[in-house]
Amino acid sequence: MLSGRQEQILRAVVEEYIVHAEPVGSRTISKREDVGFSAATIRNEMADLEELGFLKQPYTSAGRVPSQSGYRYYVDFLMGPQHLAREDLLAVRRLFASQMDALEQTIQQTASILSQITNYTSILLGPELYENKLKHLQVVPLTDRMAVVLIVTDTGHVDQRRITVPKGVSLSSIEQMVNLLNAKLTGVPLFQLKRTVYRELYSELSRYVENYEYLLTMIDQMLVEDREDRVFFSGTTNILTQPEFRDVEKVKALMDLLEQNDTVVKMLAADKNSGIQVKIGQENHLEAMNNCSIVSASFTLDGRSLGTIGVLGPTRMDYRKVVSLLEVLIEDLSAHLRRVYK
C-alpha cells in the first residue's frame, strides 16, 4: 500500500492524464487544490512511484504517465463515485421510459446511448437465448414447401427460422402441431424444447396429428438449438479519436479482434454475480488489447443473466465516469426488463 501522500499524487497524475493525454509534470500537480505539496516534494514522490511501477516516464525530461499497475491501483483504491451530468442521466431515463417491448431493441438502444455519452465503444452480449423460455410459437406458410417459424421468448426476443415443409403435410396438420406445441412447451427453456418434444409429446403427436412422422422433420428444423451469442456494437470508430490509436497497426489489430465474435464473448465473459468488472490492458490477455481497458457488468431478469454490457476504451479512459454510468444503466435496464416481461 502507498502512503497517503503518494496516493494523492498518483490520483492527481491519473486524473490529469485522463483529461489531457499528455505526460504530467510536478508543477501541474502542485497547482491542484486537492494536493497542497510543493513541486519538489511531488517530484520526489513521483520518482518513488515510478520506481514502484505505478508511473512511467515516456522519454527523458518528460512528465510521468500512469502505468497499467497505476491504473489498477487507482481503480481499486482511489477512484470515488462521479456525479453524472444531468443531460447524461436524462438520456438514460428517456431511454427506459420509451415503450420498447423487445429485448433486442432495448439492447441496441442501450449500446447507442452508452457510446454517445462516453465517446468510447460499447459492446453488449445478449440475450443468452438458450437460457430463455418459450412464450409462443407460430408457423407462417410462404409456399407449399416453405414456411417461417417465429419463436417468441419470455424476454420478448423473436427468432425467425425458415424451414422446409415435407411433402404430404397439410396446413391443418401444421396448425394442429403448433397448437399442441404451444399448449405443452410454453415456459420450457429453449435448450430443452427438442428433448421435451421427444420425451413427452411423441405419443400425443402420433395420436392426434396426421402425418406426425413427417412433422417431426419440421420440428427438428424449428427447434434446432441456437447458442450463438448475439454481439451488439456501437461507436466502434470512436477509438479512432483517441490519441493512443494514431498508429494504424494498433487500430487494425483492434478492429480485426472486434470482428471475431467468439473472442469478444470470451473477453467480456464475467462472473455474473461479481458486479462491475474492470480489465486493464494486459489483464485482457490479448495483444490487440494491450492499450485498452474494458469495464463490464451483466444485466439480469429474476436473477437470471440475460447478457453483458461493456465499454471499451484506452487504458486512459475516464474510469469514474464509465463505472458510475454503468451502475445507473444496469439498475435501470434491469428495472425496465422487470416491468416489461413480468
Q: What is the distance between the alpha carbons of residues 186 and 176, in angstroms, rounded to a whole number?
A: 16
Task: Indicate if 250 and 331 belong to the same structural domain.
Answer: yes
Q: What is the distance between the alpha carbons of residues 97 and 323, in angstroms, rounded to a whole number?
A: 22
Task: Indicate if 65 and 154 belong to the same structural domain.
Answer: no
Of 61-65, 290-294, 338-342, give the lowest mean pLDDT range.
338-342
Q: What local confidence, expressed as pLDDT, does residue 261 receive?
A: 82
Is residue 165 a contact partner of residue 218, using CB atoms and an 8 Å limit?
A: yes
Q: What local confidence, expressed as pLDDT, does residue 100 receive?
A: 62
Domain boundary among 223, 240, 262: 223
Domain boundary among 187, 204, 223: 223
> For residue 272, is pLDDT > 80?
no
Task: Indicate if 177 and 267 belong to the same structural domain.
Answer: no
Number of H helices, E strands in the chain: 13, 10
Q: What is the distance between the alpha carbons of residues 68 and 14, in angstroms, rounded to a whole number?
A: 11
Question: pLDDT tens, 7-59?
Answer: 999 999 999 999 999 999 999 999 999 999 999 999 999 999 999 999 999 88
Q: What local confidence, expressed as pLDDT, does residue 2 receive?
A: 96
> For residue 158, is pLDDT > 90?
no
Q: What local confidence, expressed as pLDDT, does residue 245 receive?
A: 87
Task: Indicate if 146 and 111 belong to the same structural domain.
Answer: no
Task: Indicate if 252 and 105 belong to the same structural domain.
Answer: yes
Is residue 24 a contact partner of residue 36, using CB atoms and an 8 Å limit?
A: no
Task: Indicate if 331 and 236 belong to the same structural domain.
Answer: yes
Structural domain span for residue 32: 4-78
Candidate ranges 71-75, 201-205, 214-218; pick with highest mean pLDDT: 71-75
Domain boundary among 198, 223, 248: 223
Report the number of distinct structural domains present in the chain: 3
Q: Which CATH number does the domain housing residue 305 bear?
A: 3.30.450.40
Task: Indicate if 238 and 322 belong to the same structural domain.
Answer: yes
Q: What local confidence, expressed as pLDDT, does residue 118 receive?
A: 96
All three cell numbers of 257? 479482434
Task: Indicate if 146 and 208 belong to the same structural domain.
Answer: yes
All three cell numbers of 181? 406445441
Q: What local confidence, expressed as pLDDT, does residue 159 receive?
A: 80
Task: Indicate if 122 and 236 belong to the same structural domain.
Answer: yes
Q: Is the pTM of this model over 0.85?
A: no
Whole-angstrom CA distances from 138 to 135, 151, 165 are: 10, 7, 14
Residue that wins the pLDDT comparison between 158 and 175? 175
Q: What is the distance between the alpha carbons of residues 220 and 22, in angstroms, rounded to a whole number?
A: 59
Question: pLDDT tens, 76-104?
Answer: 999 988 999 999 999 998 888 876 656 66
Q: Which CATH number does the domain housing residue 154 bear?
A: 3.30.390.60
**Which run of H or of E encompasses 294?**
strand 292-301
Task: Indicate if 145 and 174 belong to the same structural domain.
Answer: yes
Task: Indicate if 322 and 273 belong to the same structural domain.
Answer: yes
Task: Indicate if 200 and 178 belong to the same structural domain.
Answer: yes
